[in-house]
Amino acid sequence: MVTGGAGFIGANFIRYVLTKTDFTGRIINFDKLTYAGNPENLADIADQYPARYVLEQGDICDPKRVADVLQKYQVDAVAHFAAESHVDRSILGPGEFVRTNIEGTFTLLEAVRDLWKDRKDVLFHHVSTDEVYGSLGQEGYFTETTPYDPRSPYSASKAASDHLVSAYFHTYGLAVTKSNCSNNYGPYHFPEKLIPLMILKLQKGETLPVYGDGKNIRDWLYVEDHAEAIWTVMTKGVLGETYNVGGENEWENLKLVQVLCEKTAVALGRPAQEFLSLIRFVPDRPGHDRRYAIDCSKIKKELGWKPRTEFSQGLEKTVAWYLANPEWVQNVVSGAYKTWLERNYSAR
Ligand SMILES: NC(=O)c1ccc[n+]([C@@H]2O[C@H](COP(=O)([O-])OP(=O)(O)OC[C@H]3O[C@@H](n4cnc5c(N)ncnc54)[C@H](O)[C@@H]3O)[C@@H](O)[C@H]2O)c1
């Protein structure tokens, strides 16, 4: 069962597992279908794999619904992606982050503990973020032993859920693994996030808001590389262990936006200068972490994973995908999927 499989990374993960691995089983996508969850992200997969891909709408905070779905399909592995994921939204309304990310993870852990008892041929994998480690200065990297120091309601809620997952390993012997990853980019990314937001603003010729002085640094990883890392941990990782995942690819926000201007200009056949002049600095996000950088040597050395996608190519693919899918963007932004959902899933 993949929770949150209709979101950005979950959908890319399901597509990756079904099309690029030797997995022969069935995937249950358990998703509440919030504003960020979109069944259309996997419409082609649903057509191609009718017997091996099932969508079950449900809330991870609903113990009965979770238990029913786990029982119905006799689920033996959970990849837990479902979360409220946008830092700015967590600043405006932290309650939903506490509910979904902490209470929802707790509900899932209790449900699998009840279903699996002492089984060891099962797995609960928790997908988490490097933001739990806090903020770095100019030097250093986050390792798996860096003390947690979350700064936003989002990262605090993810830190709490990480701790619950570890506690279930130590206290109840539940078979768990965890991964903490840096910023992802790629297709199906909800357009509130930096990279798709900028591409779409560029396409419309709108100004490009950059927080503060633009010097905040993030490490970027192509989403399919993250999917491969999660699959690697799920199939080769040691129970109870955490693996940091990153792109070894640090960029200041301003420089990243400038590169996006250049890539989008090339894709649209327009002069880059026209786009670069749209950049505007806006007041900084409260508690904005200065720098994130991941040391992913553990997963590289122990499990043989490494980031594959070169950043320039990954960005070109991403720009091309957004420009080629205006209907997806329009539907996601306009909330048309709500209607689609009510039509297709109201009976469930
Ligand atoms: N996006 C990143 O760069 C990044 C980096 C590292 C880790 N992560 C983690 O990866 C996971 C997925 O992130 P994403 O960017 O794909 O998020 P997303 O916001 O695109 O998708 C979240 C999905 O979870 C579903 N969901 C939300 N609340 C739910 C609930 N109560 N019950 C069931 N489903 C619910 C949504 O409908 C959506 O499909 C999250 O746990 C996030 O913390 C994200």
CA-nearest of 257, 253, 262, 259 to 212 is: 253
DSSP summary character for residue 237: P
The answer, yes or no, to whether residue 123 has pLDDT greater than 60, is: yes
Q: Tell me, yes or no, if 131 is annotated catalytic.
A: yes
CA 315, 316, 321, 323 torsion-angle sign: positive
Q: Tell me, yes or no, if 22 is annotated catalytic.
A: no
For 205, how many CA atoms within 13 A lie in the half-sphere containing its CB?
3
Distance CA 29, CA 39 (A): 10
Give residue 18's pLDDT.
98
For domain 2-187+223-250+289-310, say whether CATH 3.40.50.300 is its number.
no
Residue ranges lining ligand 1, Cβ < 6 Å: 3-4, 6-10, 31-34, 36-37, 59-61, 81-85, 100, 104, 127-129, 158, 181, 183-184, 190
CA-nearest of 84, 260, 248 to 182 is: 248
Give residue 2's pLDDT.
98
Distance CA 141, CA 100 (A): 29
Annotated domain spans of the chain: 2-187+223-250+289-310
Would you give the end-to-end CA distance of the chain in angstroms? 18
- State the DSSP string of 38-106: -GGGGHHHHHH-TTTEEEEE--TT-HHHHHHHHHHTT--EEEE--S---HHHHHH-THHHIIIIIIHHH
Q: Tell me, yes or no, if 224 is annotated catalytic.
A: no
pLDDT classification of 340: cutoffs 50, 70, 90 = low
From the CA of 11, give the closest atom in ligand 1: 16
DSSP summary character for residue 148: P
Pocket test for ligand 1, best of 66, 85, 348 (most atoms within 8 A of CB): 85
Distance CA 183, CA 218 (A): 7
Neighbours of 313 (CB within 10 A): 11
b/e for 125-149, b at 16 or more Cβ within 10 A? bbbbbbbbbbbbeeeebbebebeee
For the chain, give the mean pLDDT. 94
Mind listing the pLDDT tens digit for each residue in 5-18?
A: 999 999 999 999 99
Percent over 90 (pLDDT), the chain? 90
Mind listing the pLDDT tens digit for each residue in 305-336?
A: 999 999 999 999 999 999 999 999 988 888 76
Mind listing the pLDDT tens digit for each residue in 229-267?
A: 999 999 999 999 999 999 999 999 999 999 999 999 999
Neighbours of 324 (CB within 10 A): 11
CA-nearest of 88, 85, 93, 103 to 7 is: 85
Distance CA 260, CA 130 (A): 24
Mind listing the pLDDT tens digit for each residue in 68-106?
A: 999 999 999 999 999 999 998 999 999 999 999 999 999
pLDDT classification of 285: cutoffs 50, 70, 90 = confident
Q: Is the pTM of this model over 0.85?
A: yes
Both tokens of 299, joined, read 């997963």
Give residue 348's pLDDT.
39
pLDDT classification of 58: cutoffs 50, 70, 90 = very high
Q: Which residues, at least 6 apart from 215, have a Cβ–Cβ distance to it below 8 Å?
A: 252, 253, 254, 290
Both tokens of 221, joined, read 């990883």
Question: What is the β-pairing status of strands 279-282 and 123-129?
Answer: unpaired
Q: Measure 7 CA to ligand 1 centroid, in angstroms.
A: 6
Choose the catalytic residue: 133, 154, 188, 243.
154
